[in-house]
Amino acid sequence: MNLRSQIKDQIFTFKSLRDLLAKANEEKSGDALVGLAAETATERVAAKLCLANLQLKDIYENPVIPYENDEVTRLIYDDINTTIYNSISHWTVSELREYILGSKSRQNDLLHISRGLTSEMIAAVAKLMSSMDLVYACKKIKVAAHCNTTIGLPGTLSFRNQSNHPTDNIDGIIAATKDGLSFGCGDAVLGINPVEDNVENYERIMRALIDLKERYEIPTQCTVLAHVSTQMQALKKGIPVDLVFQSVAGTESAHKGFGIDKAMLTEAHEMALKLGAATGPNVMYFETGQGSEVSVDCHHGVDMVTLEARTYGVARHFNPFMVNNVSGFIGPETIFTGKEVIRADLEDLFMGKLHGLPMGIAPCHTNHMKADRDDQEIGTMLAAMAGANFFMGIGGGDDCMLSYQDTSFHDDASIREILGLRPAPEFEKWLEKWGIMEDGKLTDRGGDASIFD
């Protein structure tokens, strides 16, 4: 494994593959915070040069966190198809990049090699891509998934109706959810982040969502984004759970910080299939984001992009319905500027798709970052062009409970119009039945939540 490279008259020697992967990253505050980032722009390019010439087997043979030490590493390696891996192990990362971008490779080809790629290989290739490279590659892959309904079909774009409330007030949640529905938002899921994480509160919110879904016969799925252990209690109690949610990360120790491990996720997945209310087969909803390992101090000296890729390695094991990336949510210590968020969103969308995942994105920001609504909207438009399965939908783009800014109900309807994308088919029929949508566009009734009363 050659870890030396020369740019002009400067020669760089990288300490390890881990060091090289980190230094090849585009600039992000989280890598700098933990002292992993390249010190100069030239060092960054030197790392990319080195990385481009590594063979996939160099990466395979040097896991960033040893197999024995980390169950996430084990999960990623155990899930690899060795026949496919062996057939491409001699490729350099540069060759992999050019194969992905090449005119001949289509979704099936990419999903085929995907089975032979470890998450670190996918991270490596993302580091050799510009923004348009990432969008170009993303556009080739769109993986559909089915819970009660199907999202991610070609030509569609779906949304999670995320009508959170600062005190979990049911009337407030339902009022805002109706507003979103009237804009055509909610075909991915009606999903609420609870303020209080306990099974009573979970049940209270879930029952309200189910009641709404049943009263208006909405073809969608419901979820309450409590901790997975709370949702398992709910499943045991017989509450009709469609989708089981959990935030996941790229290291075993970060999972420990989240109060989860592979065994718990496996049990939750099995319970969702056995006791849950959904048709399936996809019954899990994961959220991820660059920097979550940094925020709980469990990064093991690995950079944020690589850890994020490993997170997708975890997600694909559980055959999820949706994987949502919220890199912009964590804060300035991991992602500081609008440019950093947009870059992260595109990297994450690409890495998720190349893992064969039904990916969505929440191009978002908090108020203590150097990012604003324009950055958020640019991120949304790019990720939509790149073929994200779904975005969030929030009234006016401001989550009044989580205090961060994300895609609005208005943005949802706009992006469908701009790109000529349609809701999930069953949901579009439902919108037409309520007179909200005609020929894929909002009617005069669109945006009027009182049509439901």
422 assigned to a ligand binding site: no
- The H-assigned helical ranges of 89-162 are 93-101, 107-114, 119-126, 131-138
Q: What x/- string results for residues 300 through 339 when contact with other proteins is judged by CB under 8 A?
A: --------------------------------xx--x---
Q: Is 368 in the site for other proteins (CB under 8 A)?
A: yes
Which of 169, 236, 259, 438 binds other proteins (CB under 8 A)? It is 169
Which of 163, 230, 253, 290 binds other proteins (CB under 8 A)? It is 163
CB distance 239 to 203 below 8 Å: yes
Which of 19, 43, 58, 179 binds other proteins (CB under 8 A)? It is 179
To the nearest 10 degrees (0 to 180), the angle between helices 41-53 and 93-101 is: 90
Element (H, E) at 432: helix 425-433
Name the one range near other proteins by CB under 8 A: 55-63, 73-81, 346-354, 442-450: 442-450
> Taking phi first (over 0 means left), then psi (-120 to 50 degrees means alpha), and beta for anything else, what does residue 24 get?
alpha
401 assigned to a ligand binding site: yes
Closer Cβ to other proteins, 182 or 246, answer by number: 182
Which of 172, 280, 301, 440 binds other proteins (CB under 8 A)? It is 172
Show the tokens assigned to 121.
């290989």
Closer Cβ to other proteins, 32 or 128, answer by number: 32
Instruction: Write the secondary structure of 204-242 as one string of H (helix), E (strand) and C (coil).
Output: HHHHHHHHHHHHCCCCCCEEECCCHHHHHHHHHCCCCCC
* DSSP class of 283: -
Closer Cβ to other proteins, 338 or 352, answer by number: 338
Closer Cβ to other proteins, 75 or 304, answer by number: 304
Residues 6+ apart with CB under 8 A from 161: 177, 180, 181, 185, 186, 189, 190, 191, 393
Which of 3, 381, 385, 449 binds other proteins (CB under 8 A)? It is 449
CB distance 209 to 241 below 8 Å: no
CB distance 434 to 215 below 8 Å: no
Name the one range near other proteins by CB under 8 A: 50-58, 131-139, 270-278, 403-411: 403-411
Known binding site for adenosylcob(III)alamin: residues? 194, 246, 295, 401
Q: Which residues bind other proteins (CB under 8 A)?
A: 29, 32-33, 163-169, 171-173, 175-176, 178-179, 183, 195-196, 332-333, 336, 366-369, 372-373, 394-398, 400, 403-405, 408, 410, 413-414, 416-417, 442, 444-451, 453
